[in-house]
Amino acid sequence: MKRENRLEAIINELRASKEPLSGATLANLYQVSRQIIVQDIALLRASNYDIISTNKGYLLIDPPGKYKIFKVYHNIEEIADELYTIVEAGGRVNDVFVIHEIYGEIRAQLWLTSKSDVDNFVTSLAEGKISPLMKLTGEYHFHTVEASSDRVLDLIERKLREKNYLVEV
């Protein structure tokens, strides 16, 4: 397959995927090395495609969805419920961030789109692989949530408010 055709095919794969695609997955799909995929992604970025790298693979931010930042508060035991509430209502949890009084904004990418993603994240917390940022700020934190429409974002907001996770700003 010629590079030009492969670049178009990669964009189509990334657009169709709701979850990040690893370089190895794309390499197997197009029967090239992972290094070729890395070069292809660099070319696509140079062509103004908004492709981000996550710990799970590449993700195309195209077309941009609707975004809303939610300020939330809950204890550590409620993390899974809060995140399930968002993804089950049709949202994607792009990140978590806190505003620390000394360090300023501290942000971590999450890219949680499903219950399985949430389960993996919560398992990592339970195993001590990662520590929730909310521990730095007395359990207050923010999420950037993406959804297909304002209606879905409104639904997520309503559900978070019903569970008393939402903090009015």
**Cα separation of 41 and 156, whole Å?**
33
At 126, the amino acid letter reads: A
At 100, the amino acid letter reads: H
Which residue is associated with the tokens 């995929």?
37
- Give, in degrees to the nearest 5, the angle at Cα 124 between 118 and 128: 145
Q: Which residues are annotated as a binding site?
A: 74, 82, 141, 143
Q: Which residues are annotated as a binding site for Ni(2+)?
A: 74, 82, 141, 143
C-alpha pair distances (Å), 93 with each of 56, 82, 162:
14, 10, 19
Rg (CA), the chain: 18
